[in-house]
Amino acid sequence: MNSLRTIALIAGLTLAAALGGAEAAPRDPQGALGANFNEHLDMLRFDELELGRTKWVRGFYPMPLADKQPPQDNPGIRNLLQAEDRGYGTVLNMKFPFQKRAFPKPGTPAMAREMQRVTKLLDAVMGRVDILVIGNEPFIESRPADRNENLNAFYEYIAKQVIAFRRDKCGADCSTQLYLGALNRLQSPRHQTPATDRWVRYAASEPDIKGVDIHPHVASIKDSQPFVDYVLQRLRPDQRFLVTEFSLVHHWKKHLTDAAPAGFLAKYDMPPNLEVWQVIGAAIKSPFPQKKWNDFLASSRWYESRKNYICNQMALFRATKRLAVATHGYIQGPEAAKNWSPDKTPWLLNSVFATQTVRNWPDGTPGRGYAWIDDFRRCANP
């Protein structure tokens, strides 16, 4: 399944040399930092990856999409596999949306349909992507009433089928590693439940599973420590963890209704007494020049004081010596700017590239997220 990679390696070349991509990512990552595209893998551009100096790419695939189009024809999957062929390391989460319905039971037609979707995706990516994560955010992408043994039973059934497929179709030396993912909100004791405990302990019980994924979207770095402690206390010593999403989004949200910096408003002849969310709204309506966006955030103490967040957060993860890959939000997706209001979660303040709030540069590349591009480059490779 990795014939192109194998040919390049036999020839003494990396795929990056053969195809003009990045220097090939290590196949067994140790503390890498990559670019997270979530559902927007179709928006992946290789010139932007090169600007960030990363070797890893991550996104997720909503499983119902397999009903409408073969996964190998999905633009996002095509981009991810092209990244693999260019020498990038690749991470793909399988997203099972069950917010409005119960998990199906084994032996039912509904479960058979789920397995058809899973098989279609595995046929397309097993042996091609480096890391396949079984699940995306199961304790969010489910009904509250099902966040118990029902959730565990469903994901354990799917995991066993994925493990069996990997063994039967990809072989003992299959290059795709399996993880279970991902856990959210572990900074709150009420979200540390019997179901989350069983989740990690199940991963520890399966020799074919390399570890688990966590998503610490927090208000401060210290709130990410419980995530790391929780999973490492339950995993096998040989297992590691992924962090395919992380951010300070809850810190940003607390400041959306702050007064915007007066000096900034005066400098750019904007109305006085605007709040932060209104300045961001103006940038969404008519994207700012890079300098104006930078000046706005640099003069906002709540943001400027956190401008080294990515490297500081990566230092905490890497200190464990158990981090495989972490990936940080790379672009502002269109939905992050849609229906903007002071109550909207400000995901767009996380992104390395500010595609919705900053004008493109003269070379055609998107505007940068203030501070993040430099911090991301500094920490992209351990």
Angle at 136 between CA 182 and CA 131, to 5 degrees: 85
Query: What is the pLDDT at residue 88?
Result: 97
> What integer is the mean pLDDT of 320-347?
97
Long-range residue pairs from 273-281, CB within 8 A, at least 24 positions apart, any chain: 275/342, 276/300, 277/340, 277/341, 277/342, 277/344, 277/346, 280/256, 280/340, 280/346, 280/348, 280/349, 280/357, 281/340
Query: What is the pLDDT at residue 27?
Result: 72
Q: How far apart are CA 343 and CA 187, in angstroms?
A: 22
What does the block give as tokens for 289? Answer: 């020049």
Does 16 score more than 60 pLDDT? no
Does 179 score more than 80 pLDDT? yes
Strand locations in the chain (E): 32-36, 56-62, 89-95, 131-134, 177-184, 209-215, 240-243, 323-329
- Average of per-residue pLDDT values in the chain: 93
What is the per-residue DSSP string for 29-52? -SSEEEEE-TT-GGG--HHHHHHH
Residue 19 confidence class, pLDDT cut points 50, 70, 90:
very low
Does 116 score more than 80 pLDDT? yes
Domains of the chain: 3-256+290-379 (3.20.20.80)
Does 7 score more than 50 pLDDT? no
Residue 22 confidence class, pLDDT cut points 50, 70, 90:
low
> What integer is the mean pLDDT of 118-147?
98
For residue 320, is it left (φ>0), alpha (ψ between -120 and 50) or beta? Answer: alpha
For the stretch 238-248, pLDDT in tens is 999 999 999 99
Residue 301 confidence class, pLDDT cut points 50, 70, 90:
very high
Residue 13 confidence class, pLDDT cut points 50, 70, 90:
very low
Residue 26 confidence class, pLDDT cut points 50, 70, 90:
low
> What integer is the mean pLDDT of 46-57?
95
pTM of the predicted model as reported, rounded to 2 decimal places: 0.93
Query: What is the pLDDT at residue 215?
Result: 98
Does 225 score more than 60 pLDDT? yes
> What integer is the mean pLDDT of 208-217?
98
Query: What is the pLDDT at residue 20?
Result: 47
Query: What is the pLDDT at residue 17?
Result: 42
Query: What is the pLDDT at residue 66?
Result: 98
Contact, 381 vs 55, CB < 8 A?
yes
Output phi, psi for 210, to 5 deg.
-85, -20
Query: What is the pLDDT at residue 98?
Result: 98
Residue 5 confidence class, pLDDT cut points 50, 70, 90:
very low
Residue 172 confidence class, pLDDT cut points 50, 70, 90:
confident
Query: What is the pLDDT at residue 256?
Result: 98
